[in-house]
Amino acid sequence: MTPEEYELAYRKLVRYGEHFDISVDSKLPQPVVKTKAGKVAKRQPPYDERPKSYYQAQCSFRGLKTSGGKDELQQLLQDRDVRKDLEIWRELDQLEDERGAYEVEQEEIRFERWWNDPETTFEDKLRRSPRRALQEEMQKPNSFLLHSCRIYRGDWFNLSRAAAALSLGYEEVCGPFALLPECQIQQCQIIGEATAVATNARAFKQDAERKAQEQWASYDAKLELAKTQKREQHQAFLDRAKSNDDWDLTGKWTIHCDELSRYSSGPECPEKLRMEIFKDDYKLKSVCSGEAVSEDSRRPRYCA
């Protein structure tokens, strides 16, 4: 099929922007329903009504007139010889297959042109067709596949299957999964000479584990530093309080305690803790008028 024949086939398959529909009857008005008295019923059977261009296209496919209103086009389709629909459909279906084969052929031509382009890299080819790219690479006298290996990160589909088919060394390596939430798992695919692949796989795992340990050590050090700074703040506050002889405990206090703030609400939503300390000797004065107030009632009481 030539490009001209391809364009001609498209014009035959698409008319008025529509394709041939062998089920056109479902888009046509149904026979008029009448009442027992012989009058036209108010409710008529519904149908899948389409725009005028659709009915023009269906008439054109069947060799019918395409001019006139929608009602006229629908009537032409209702009066058509339905026996020809299957013949037309088979002819158009064969034409569609020919167009599909032509498109596949053109795609193969474009792919070969891209493959043989000097600017197309080995990695580009490896993503599109792993087995073919590896086969061509193995035919080179100094190919890395014969004496070393390469490490690829990211998604490389069907690389393992191609390596197995060509008896190449291959390993998919993942680092430790116990990582901090903001860290990504170290993973890669290694392909090449079997011994080189095994050596690089061990080195990759060791390096990934080392990085994970360093990340956890840094995280633990930050936590310990934060705890030390908080303890120093508390100690400084306590020292200032002890140096004050007439320290009055009454008043409103804000409590800083990680354990208590997360005790009820959980670690994700710490609560704000407050406390108020006051003297309640005024209650005894109002109740026990004229009686001496004991020293115990003057002691501060705590109310959280």
Same domain, yes or no, for 206 and 284?
A: no
pLDDT in tens, 87-133: 888 887 887 888 888 889 889 999 999 999 999 999 999 988 999 99
Please write the tens of the pLDDT for every residue from 132-167: 999 999 998 888 888 888 888 877 788 889 999 999
Tell me the residue ranges of DSSP E strands in 137-186.
Answer: 149-152, 169-174
Specify if 243 maps to a domain. Answer: no
Q: Is residue 92 part of a domain?
A: yes
* Tally of CB atoms within 10 A around 133: 21
Are 85 and 22 a contacting pair, CB within 8 Å? yes
Total number of domains in the chain: 3
Distances (CA, A) of 287 to 48, 290, 295, 296: 89, 9, 16, 16
In a domain, 236, yes or no: no
Q: How confident is the model at residue 304 (pLDDT cuts 50, 70, 90)?
A: very low
**pLDDT tens, residue by residue, 49-79:** 889 999 999 898 888 899 889 989 988 888 8
Q: Is the dihedral of CA 85, 86, 91, 95 positive or negative?
A: positive
235 assigned to some structural domain: no
**pLDDT of 303 over the 60 cut:** no
**27 domain residue, yes or no:** yes
Average pLDDT, the chain: 82
Q: In terms of domains, do 7 and 106 share one?
A: yes
Residue 179, number of CB atoms within 10 A of its CB? 16
Same domain, 210 and 272: no
Which pTM value belongs to this model?
A: 0.51
Strand order in the sheet with 301-303: 251-255, 273-278, 301-303
Which structural domain, as residue segments, surrounds residue 181? 122-220
**3-class DSSP state of 162:** helix
